[in-house]
Amino acid sequence: MRSLLFLLFLFLNSKLWAAGFDSLLFRPANGQTKSLSVFSSRMLEPGQVQSGLWLYYQSRSLQVLQADSVKFSILDHALMQHLGIALGLHPKWAELSVDVPFAWSLGFKDPSQPNPREANQQGIGDMRVAVKTWHLKPLQNMDFSLLPSIHLPTGDDDLFIGTKTIVWGIKALSEFQWERWSANLNVGLSTQSAYHYRNISRSHEFHYELATSYRILPEALVAMELVGRSKLTDLFARAEDNPIEAHFLTRFFLTERCQMDLFGSAGLQRGMGVPLMRVGLGLLFGS
């Protein structure tokens, strides 16, 4: 056991000397959410498990922008798989979730080369570990909780899908429910070692995520999301530092324990890491 902990320490320590850029801003949410990437403030019951597998394609995943125009592409396309699992530990104080993305196909152009050719690459992204806690019900139709998280540097920073450093974060989760309709708001902060590349800089960021869903049938719901982030020291100042995208979801309840997601996304403000478009399929399983 001590040997495993020592190897883990050496691995993390070797990754923390410098920061990298993680272009995978999109991450599906774990737990009993009614949306795609926005967390629910409600918590799983102790012993309850929710897992998910998402497969999606996105176009023009990472482009270097300057003065609102595209200078060149680093990731032209990406075929991604995302795995996540959430476990209820305590009805008020603890719900653990872990998720990690895999890149099966990346159209990568090495920006360090003068005239790079696109090469098909594969890799893994940073692992996110989060603990939902402090669940409250301040109003009859409202739930609130906190979501501290840590992103571990398991990703391939050479492919711009890993930060090469630990990223700490915390979000406040609120949820409102009225019969078939619900609305969610997540706001939070994240911090990491400073990263600078050309006109890109990343360190401390403000996150905001808004979702609304409606149960159109007993077997289906539809949802829309608006998701963005901004550099904390220069809020909403430059488009390059303010990626914003919209998500559209249709969820089918196939059985009591199995759900299927069909979703699409569109980049509204092409900040660093927001693709032109995204389409995908997800399967969710619950205990």
Mean pLDDT of the region 164-170: 95
In this predicted structure, the answer to whether residue 219 has a pLDDT above a threshold of 50 is: yes
DSSP state of 239: G
| Sign, CA torsion 237/238/239/241 | negative
Mean pLDDT of the region 222-243: 89
pLDDT at 65: 64
Condensed to tens digits (0 to 9), the pLDDT of residues 45-83 reads: 999 999 999 999 999 888 776 666 666 788 989 999 999
In this predicted structure, the answer to whether residue 268 has a pLDDT above a threshold of 60 is: yes
Which is nearest to 157 in space by CA: 25, 15, 3? 15
Rounded CA gap, 244 and 5, in Å? Answer: 39
Residues 203/192, Cβ–Cβ less than 8 Å: yes
Strand-pairing partners, residue 69, are 66
* Dihedral Cα 54, 22, 102, 207, nearest 10 deg: -20
- State the number of CA atoms in the 13 A half-sphere of 249 facing the CB: 32
Count of other CB atoms within 10 angstroms of residue 168: 13
Amino acid residing at 223: A
Give residues with Cβ within 8 angstroms of 221, minimum separation 6: 34, 213, 214, 215, 250, 251
Rounded CA gap, 214 and 178, in Å? Answer: 10
In this predicted structure, the answer to whether residue 8 has a pLDDT above a threshold of 70 is: no
In this predicted structure, the answer to whether residue 188 has a pLDDT above a threshold of 60 is: yes
Lowest mean pLDDT among 12-21, 101-110, 205-214: 12-21
pTM of the model: 0.90
The token duo for 215 is 């149960």
pLDDT at 272: 75
pLDDT at 223: 98
CATH class of 19-286: mainly beta
What stretches of 30-135 show up as alpha helix (H) in DSSP?
Answer: none
Q: In the chain, what are the domain boundaries?
A: 19-286
- Strands 69-90 and 94-108, bridge-based pairing: antiparallel
What band does 199 get if pLDDT is binned at 50, 70 and 90? Answer: low
Q: What b-and-e string marks burial along 242-254, b requiring 16 or more CB atoms within 10 Å of the CB?
A: bbbbebbbebebe
In this predicted structure, the answer to whether residue 4 has a pLDDT above a threshold of 50 is: no
Q: How far apart are the first and last CA of the chain?
A: 31
Q: Where are the beta strands (DSSP E) in the chain?
A: 49-66, 69-90, 94-108, 119-124, 127-139, 142-152, 167-178, 181-197, 200-217, 220-231, 244-253, 258-269, 277-286
Average pLDDT of every residue of the chain: 89
In this predicted structure, the answer to whether residue 12 has a pLDDT above a threshold of 80 is: no
